[in-house]
Each structure stands twice: as C-alpha cells, then as structure tokens.
C-alpha cells in the first residue's frame, strides 16, 4: 500500500509539473513585439561565381563563370533596441521563370518568397531574415554536382554583403537598394541557415566550407543550421553546430528521405562536440509545400498511396494553405495551411532556441514536449485543422529525436564499430539471449546472414560507395554496404529495385542493433533480453532528465503486427512494444513500456502502401527518469539497464532496429548556447573552428575528413586523453593511478583487461563473474571496471595457474580514452 501511495503521489506531482511546464512553454506561432519591414526585392550587389567542373575539364555551357545579383526577400525588425541575429534561407531546385526562359526570364519565379511566413514571424521577434533568390543560379549550376559549390559560394557572398552593410552604407545602384538601413543593426556573431531540398545540402556543405574558407572570405559563427527535405549529393557530415534535419514522410521528390542521413552521420563525428543534433519526422508532409511558391505551382507527387495520395479518401496529407499566383509569397498567417504551420513551429523554435539562445524552447528540441504536452511534439496552435490533417491525432504528426552535446549525455549502448555486440559505451559487457535471426530467409539481404549465438545482430546500411549516381560511380545495379540492415525482398513492398542516389531506400544510416524475437518463452521458457551493467562510477544519473534510445519497426517482417485497414494510414493503429528496465544497487527494479505515448511514437510502424512511401527511420523513445524514480529506483546508484522482449503482456514476436541508448539532458538546464539573446557567452561554434585540428587523407580515391577526439568543458576544448598505470600487481588484486591533464581534468572510469593466451592470436578474458570467456580476438576483449578513478582497484579473485597479460585503460568525462602503452605480465604458479 505504501508503494502504491508513493506512486500515486509521484504521479500527481508529475502531472502538476507537466501542467506548469505547458503553461511556461512559449508558442512559436505567435507574432512578436517588433514592427516588420519587408524589402522585396532586396538587392545587395553582385557576386562572381564559377562552378568547378566535376569531370575535371574546364567548366562549359551552363557551368561557366557568371556574375549574378545578390537578391531576394529581406524581413527585419524596425524598432528592435539591439542588433538582430541573422538568418539566411536557401531554396532548392524549382522552375525559374513565370514567363520567358532561363537564365534571363521576363518574369522570374521568385522562389525565395516561399518562406515569407517564416521570415516575417522571426523578424517580429527581432531577427533579420534574408531569403536568397537563386532563380538564375539554377541555370548555371553543374548538373553533375547539383550546383552545391555555387550555392555555398552564394551563401558566403550573402553573409559577406550583410557584414559590409552592417559596417557602412552600401551605395545605391541598379543592383543595390540597401543604403544605410542595416548599419549597426545586425549581430553577425549570431547566424542561422536554413536550406530546402538542394538548399539543405548546400547549407550542410557550407558548415564544413565555413571552417576552411580562404581569405578574404570570413568565417561565421553558425549557431543553428536546418536541412529541410534535403538531398545528399555532397555526402556532408555536419558537426560543431546545432543542426536540425526535417524529414517529410510523404516526400514525393526525395522520397528516400536523404536528410535522415545527415542526422545519423553527424552524431559521433566529433567526440566531445558540445552542440546538439535534432531530427524531426513529419507525417503527412510532402516535399514542396514548406515553400508557398512551390505549393501554388502544384503538388510534388500525385502518386496514389493510402496515406500520402492527395486524392485518396484516407489521405493524411497536410494542407498547403490558401496561396495562389498572387498570394504565394504572402506572409499573412491566415493563408498558412497545415504544413506551413508545422514548418513555422519547428523551424522558428529551433532558430529562437539556438541562434537567439531562448532556452524556453528547449522542450521543443529535446522531445520533452510529448511528455508534458499529451504526446504532442508541436504546440496546439500548430496542430492541423484541415479534414486530411485531422484524420490522425496531432500527437502522431511530428517525431522528435534529440542527440545532445557531450556535456548533456552519458552513452550506455552505442554500437561500436569494433565490437557492436560485445561492449557497452561504459566498457561493460553487453549480454543478450533469446533472440531470433532478424534477417528473413526471403528478405532483401542475401545470402541470409547466419544466426548469432544470441540471435541479436548488428548492421549499417551506409553504402560502400558514396559518389552519387550522376557522377557515374555506380557499382553494379544496387548499392552495397559493409553489412546491410534487414530489408524486404526486392519485389516486395519497400524492396529495393533501383539505385537511387547510391542509397538503400527509406532508412536511417549508422550502426544499429537488429533485434527480432519469436515467441521466446514458448521456445525456451525465457524472454529475449539485452542488458548491460552500469559501473558505480557511471551509476549516478540523477543529474539527467531522461533515458533515450533510437528505434524503428521493420514493417515488412511478419513477426510484427500485420498492417491492414486503418493501419495503412493511421500510425496510431499499431504499435510494437518492449520493456525498458533499470535496477539500482539495492536490487530495486523499475520497468516501463517503451510504447507509451508519453515517450513518443517511434514504435508505430510506417504508414503507406507503395514502396516510395514506406520508411524505416530511427526515431526517439524518450523516457523521463522520474518515471523510474516514482517506482522506487535510486537514480544515484543505477547498476543495470535491460531491454526485455516477449514478456507476458507484450507482443510475443517482433523485429525492430535499435541504436544509441543513453541518459541525456541536464536536470539543471541546457548548457549549449544559453546566453538568451545577450552577448555571446560560453563555447561558440566558431571556437571549434579555431581550436579543432582537422586532417584530410586520401582513402580509395575519396577525401575523408578526420577529427581528433575532443570534449568541451566550460569554455575549453579538451582533446587530451587521461593516462593510467599499475602500481601494484598481485595475484588477487591490481591497483593503480590515473590522471587527466585536459581542461576537463576528470577521470570518469578505468577499465582493466586480464587476458590469457589461447593461441592463434586469440585470448580468453576474465569477466566480472570470475570466469573466462571463450577464445576471442582482441577486438572482442572483455574488461573489468575498476573501483575508483584517480586511485583505482580491481579484485581478480583466484586465478588458475598460468601467464596473464594485464592492460589498463582510462576514460575521461568527454569520452577521451587511452590504453597504457605497455601491458603488464602476471604469472600465477
């Protein structure tokens, strides 16, 4: 009874906290206090551009050198008391002329006007927004590289022009109408970028180019970058900036959701990176209608589909507003449709959180809004109102995945390239049992991989060859990967039959765990389980808000519920489920259902019934740690994490993808870019440009960028791994010391490996239970986690006679790690 009463009281307290949080969360849809001036067209002079020839020859025809106007639409606050942050918006490929022919149209399309709803809203909150017109540029881009170099040069030129206009008046001319209106009015230390489609690839490419941009070009403090429905021609990896990727799940143009690759690729690119990456998947959104000009010009895909088909009776397509040929660039909020409203809510929240430093928007970024907002991850004001838009619940519309900066997370299960099924991110062993082979005999991965000892497996669908198809780099008819994830057969729904942009269709990249279970209790009397021990040194998680992991349902696998009827258009109709459990040092366990609506909707299978509209995209399951604490678990002494499948009351069969289990989000509030609109404080993205060394090497004819291990603490970039050594080497115990001279100056954990040679380059490793493993290669080494850090101890128990090799490895708070160069020898006689 006492436990029940405590749980009831805790639930009431959580409800009160949620109600208070909802009341305090700002509405990004509301207009701000400042008067807005729209300068349309905006003219800022000219820029000389030349796209490099991807063939190696001299640029010719459309790719030849050209002088273009810097022009577009400008939205700015006229009565803001302080210089305003700067946002640049970059549209993608579309028709260039309303009349005449490119590149010298009689009437240009003015694709830049399509984001007026976003520009005017941000300007009313104190931002200056420039939407770049690229109608002429599209004619001059090199078709083989999709114009990415031209686009990033244009972005750089626009930022340079704004910097100059902020310093002194720009003389009026036929190509310039700015005059002195921007002098002293811009905060060029706060810059944000948004790119749509090819523009999304361009802004992602600009992140990296900004780091190495040659003189006289400046480098800018990019405090927030958004890729909206992006292509992935450049194969860029964004890091060192807050980054948001938006994936429209009904995209009829980039239907394989290439933007998800940017999010997955970016996460561990720079260990210690202090800035977050975010992905938002939007059900019912198509490719074009985030741009009101593109909406007025028509649909991006009329293909029939029960969920996304625009004329289907079950369509959940979001409406595109009331724009026509005369109103398509209008900023009037009354004209916005469902899709623009969601676009405004998500993009405005992101820019205001990171470019503006308004931490009140943090719950929109982390996914916490679903916990305090009845499952919704957008505000009520952005919920769809059209007949199609209300066909499914608002809580199903947006799925938010949040990858925090290093200071705001503790990784637990991060599939490791060397031992993805062996070791946790904390150095403890992963234990798994009871699973079934996730690869089906008739699936798209052939030959079917052999079943592992536990049944659990790993995969990474990132293709071996990265050059896009239009560079002529196709290897065979379909792309290959080191180890593809489970896929349907080529002829089945979702099966891959063509090489689109050298990529497996419609799934997230990156290392993942493939987990399938098939009535494990009936087969063996036990559930399927994936677990790891939490070392004492890492067991205090009371400083974090949530436990998070990425998950997706393999919709094609018959071990999952059959998608029939309403399930083909309503994601809430079906769900997969499993148990997430934490155990503390006293043996108290708390367990929750991963499929709770408070934790997001990642376990709802894809909707749709044609191949381009079905997806396997990793989305976030976010469990508030207070849900475990309410069941009596001591969050200061967590000792075990377990994921359980096939338990009574849960689905007896299933097949899912899993990745990146971690504790995240500081209870005391976010640490990245929290300066709230004042002068820039703390670590800034531009600081990483100045302090992070980068080396480029050639690998198989491809340039690969390498970054050092690094962590950021306060205003310091820590790239120094700690050292460790053994001071006492005995038959029963090993002791030693560890030290960290980096600016973080904190050893987080020490791991000790005790190995006995088994011949043929293999070893048997001592486990925490005192037993030895079977013969393993060093890649599968097991380690003991020491007690203590700067002074550490490991108890060995009673070792059999023989010769042993002992090595020690120290890890700091930022993930920097170093193994002692010389291993110690121990002989037991």
pLDDT in tens, 509-531: 888 999 999 999 999 999 999 99
- Asked if pLDDT for residue 467 goes beyond 50, the answer is yes
Given this model, what pLDDT does residue 545 score? 95
Q: Minimum mean pLDDT among 417-426, 431-440, 739-748: which range? A: 739-748
What the block records as the tokens of 557 is: 């696998």
Given this model, what pLDDT does residue 12 score? 40
Q: Are 395 and 601 in contact (CB under 8 A)?
A: yes
Q: Are 40 and 74 in contact (CB under 8 A)?
A: yes
Given this model, what pLDDT does residue 713 score? 38
pLDDT band at residue 248 under the 50/70/90 scheme: very high
What the block records as the tokens of 135 is: 């109608």
Given this model, what pLDDT does residue 388 score? 93
- Asked if pLDDT for residue 600 goes beyond 80, the answer is yes
Task: Measure the CA–CA gap between 94 and 571, rounded to whole angstroms.
Answer: 31
What the block records as the tokens of 258 is: 């290439």
- Enumerate the CATH 2.60.40.10 domain ranges in the chain, comma separated: 720-828
Highest mean pLDDT range out of 369-373, 598-602, 683-687? 598-602
Given this model, what pLDDT does residue 62 score? 60
Given this model, what pLDDT does residue 507 score? 74
Place of tokens 């700002």: 26
Task: Measure the CA–CA gap between 295 and 73, rounded to whole angstroms.
Answer: 18
Q: Minimum mean pLDDT among 3-17, 596-610, 742-756: which range? A: 3-17
Task: Measure the CA–CA gap between 114 and 297, rounded to whole angstroms.
Answer: 11
How many angstroms separate the Cα of 803 from the Cα of each of 94, 299, 330, 522, 753? 70, 71, 78, 44, 14
Q: What angle do CA 411, 417, 422 make, to 5 degrees?
A: 70
pLDDT band at residue 144 under the 50/70/90 scheme: low
- Asked if pLDDT for residue 403 goes beyond 90, the answer is yes
Note the helical H segments in 479-557. 520-524
Given this model, what pLDDT does residue 143 score? 61
Highest mean pLDDT range out of 63-77, 265-279, 808-822? 265-279
pTM, 2 dp: 0.82
- The CATH class of 23-403 is alpha beta
SS3 content of the chain, % helix, strand, coil (to 5): 20, 30, 50
Q: Are 587 and 520 in contact (CB under 8 A)?
A: no
Half-sphere exposure of 261 (CA within 13 A, CB side): 27
What value does the mean pLDDT of the chain take? 85
Helix (H) or strand (E) holding 369: helix 369-372
Given this model, what pLDDT does residue 601 score? 93
- Enumerate the CATH 3.40.50.1820 domain ranges in the chain, comma separated: 23-403
Note the helical H segments in 553-691. 626-629, 685-691
Q: Minimum mean pLDDT among 9-23, 328-342, 519-533: which range? A: 9-23
What the block records as the tokens of 729 is: 């080497």
Residues 6+ apart with CB under 8 A from 423: 416, 429, 430, 781, 782, 783
User: Which of the listed CATH numbers 2.30.29, 2.60.120, 1.10.10, 2.40.160 matches domain 408-434+448-457+515-666?
Assistant: 2.60.120
- 571 or 680, greater pLDDT: 571
Task: Measure the CA–CA gap between 542 and 455, rounded to whole angstroms.
Answer: 34
Is there a cis peptide before residue 672, judged by omega within 30 degrees of 0?
A: no
- Asked if pLDDT for residue 261 goes beyond 80, the answer is yes
Task: Measure the CA–CA gap between 374 and 395, rounded to whole angstroms.
Answer: 8
- Asked if pLDDT for residue 2 goes beyond 90, the answer is no
Q: Are 815 and 272 in contact (CB under 8 A)?
A: yes
- Asked if pLDDT for residue 20 goes beyond 80, the answer is no
- Asked if pLDDT for residue 317 goes beyond 50, the answer is yes
- Asked if pLDDT for residue 148 goes beyond 90, the answer is no
Q: Is 2.60.40.10 the CATH number for 720-828?
A: yes
Q: Report the Cα 112 to chain-centroid distance in Å.
A: 27
Q: For residue 141, give the nearest of 54, 266, 44, 28 by alpha carbon.
A: 54
pLDDT band at residue 693 under the 50/70/90 scheme: very low
pLDDT in tens, 347-368: 999 999 999 999 999 999 999 9
Residues 6+ apart with CB under 8 A from 820: 723, 724, 725, 726, 807, 808, 809
Task: Measure the CA–CA gap between 322 and 317, rounded to whole angstroms.
Answer: 15
- Asked if pLDDT for residue 56 goes beyond 70, the answer is no
Q: By CB neighbour count within 10 A (0-12 exposed, 13-18 middle, 19+ buried), where does 790 fall?
A: middle
Given this model, what pLDDT does residue 829 score? 82
Q: Minimum mean pLDDT among 91-105, 353-367, 455-469, 751-765: which range? A: 455-469
């Amino acid at each position: 009874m006492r436990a029940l009463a405590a749980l009831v009281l805790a639930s009431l307290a959580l409800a009160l906290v949620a109600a208070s949080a909802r009341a305090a969360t700002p509405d990004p849809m509301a207009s701000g206090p400042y008067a807005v001036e729209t300068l349309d067209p905006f003219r800022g002079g000219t820029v000389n551009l030349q796209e490099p020839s991807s063939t190696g020859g001299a640029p010719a025809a459309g790719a030849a050198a050209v002088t273009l106007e810097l022009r577009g639409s400008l939205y700015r606050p006229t009565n803001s008391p302080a210089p305003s942050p700067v946002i640049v918006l970059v549209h993608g490929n579309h028709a260039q002329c309303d009349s005449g022919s490119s590149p010298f149209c009689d009437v240009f399309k003015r694709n830049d006007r399509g984001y007026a709803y976003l520009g005017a809203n941000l300007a009313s909150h104190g931002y200056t927004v420039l939407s770049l017109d690229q109608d002429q540029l599209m004619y001059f881009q090199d078709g083989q590289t999709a114009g990415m170099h031209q686009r990033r040069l244009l972005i750089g030129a626009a930022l340079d022009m704004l910097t100059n206009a902020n310093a002194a008046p720009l003389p009026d001319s036929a190509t310039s109408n700015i005059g002195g209106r921007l002098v002293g009015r811009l905060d060029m230390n706060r810059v944000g970028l948004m790119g749509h489609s090819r523009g999304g690839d361009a802004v992602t490419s600009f992140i990296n180019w900004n780091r190495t941009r040659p003189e006289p070009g400046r480098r800018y403090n990019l405090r927030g970058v958004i890729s909206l429905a992006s292509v992935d021609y450049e194969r860029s990896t964004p890091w060192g900036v807050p980054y948001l990727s938006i994936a429209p799940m009904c995209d009829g143009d980039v239907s394989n959701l290439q933007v998800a690759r940017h999010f997955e690729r970016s996460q561990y690119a720079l260990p210690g990176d202090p800035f977050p990456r975010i992905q938002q998947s939007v059900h019912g959104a198509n490719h074009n209608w985030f741009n009101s000009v593109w909406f007025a010009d028509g649909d991006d895909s009329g293909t029939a589909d029960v969920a996304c088909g625009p004329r289907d009776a079950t369509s959940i397509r979001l409406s595109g507003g009331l724009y026509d040929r005369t109103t398509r660039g209008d900023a009037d909020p009354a004209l916005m449709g469902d899709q623009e409203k969601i676009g405004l809510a998500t993009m405005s929240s992101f820019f205001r959180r990171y470019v503006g430093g308004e931490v009140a928007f943090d719950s929109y970024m982390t996914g916490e809004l679903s916990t305090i907002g009845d499952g919704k991850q957008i505000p009520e004001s952005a919920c769809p109102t059209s007949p199609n838009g209300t066909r499914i619940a608002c809580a199903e519309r947006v799925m938010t995945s949040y990858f925090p900066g290093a200071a705001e997370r503790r990784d637990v299960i991060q599939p490791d390239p060397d031992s993805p099924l062996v070791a946790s991110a904390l150095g403890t062993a992963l234990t798994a049992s009871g699973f079934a082979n996730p690869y089906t005999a008739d699936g798209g991965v052939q030959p079917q991989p052999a079943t592992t000892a536990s049944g659990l497996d790993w995969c990474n669908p990132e293709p071996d060859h990265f050059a896009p198809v239009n560079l002529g780099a196709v290897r065979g008819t379909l792309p290959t990967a080191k180890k593809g994830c489970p896929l349907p057969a080529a002829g089945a729904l979702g099966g891959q039959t063509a090489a689109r942009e050298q990529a497996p269709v419609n799934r997230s990249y990156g290392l993942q765990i493939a987990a399938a279970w098939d009535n494990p209790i009936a087969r063996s009397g036990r559930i399927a389980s994936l677990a790891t021990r939490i070392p004492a040194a890492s067991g205090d998680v009371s400083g974090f808000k949530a436990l998070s992991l990425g998950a997706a349902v393999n919709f094609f696998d018959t071990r999952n519920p059959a998608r029939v009827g309403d399930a083909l258009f309503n994601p809430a109709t079906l769900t997969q489920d499993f148990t997430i459990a934490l155990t503390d040092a006293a043996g108290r366990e708390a367990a929750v259902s991963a499929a709770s609506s408070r934790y997001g909707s990642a376990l709802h299978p894809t909707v749709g019934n044609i191949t381009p509209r079905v997806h396997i995209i990793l989305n976030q399951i976010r469990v508030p740690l207070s849900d475990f604490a309410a069941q009596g678990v001591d969050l200061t002494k967590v000792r075990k994490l377990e994921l359980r499948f096939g338990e009574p009351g849960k689905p007896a069969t299933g097949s899912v993808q899993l990745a990146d289990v971690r504790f995240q989000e500081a209870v005391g509030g976010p640490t990245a870019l929290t300066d709230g609109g004042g002068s820039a404080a703390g670590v800034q993205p531009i600081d990483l440009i100045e302090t992070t060394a980068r080396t480029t090497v050639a690998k198989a004819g491809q340039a690969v960028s390498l970054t050092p291990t690094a962590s950021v603490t306060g205003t310091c970039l820590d790239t120094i791994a700690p050292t460790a050594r053994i001071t006492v080497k005995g038959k029963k115990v090993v002791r030693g010391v560890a030290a960290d001279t980096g600016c973080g100056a904190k050893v987080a954990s020490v791991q000790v490996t005790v190995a006995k040679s088994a011949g043929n380059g293999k070893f048997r490793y001592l486990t925490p239970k005192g037993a030895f493993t079977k013969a393993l290669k060093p890649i599968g080494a097991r380690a003991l986690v020491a007690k203590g850090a700067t002074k550490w101890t490991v108890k060995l128990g009673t070792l059999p006679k023989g010769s042993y090799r002992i090595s020690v490895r120290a890890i700091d708070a930022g993930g920097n790690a170093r193994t002692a160069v010389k291993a110690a020898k121990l002989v037991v006689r």
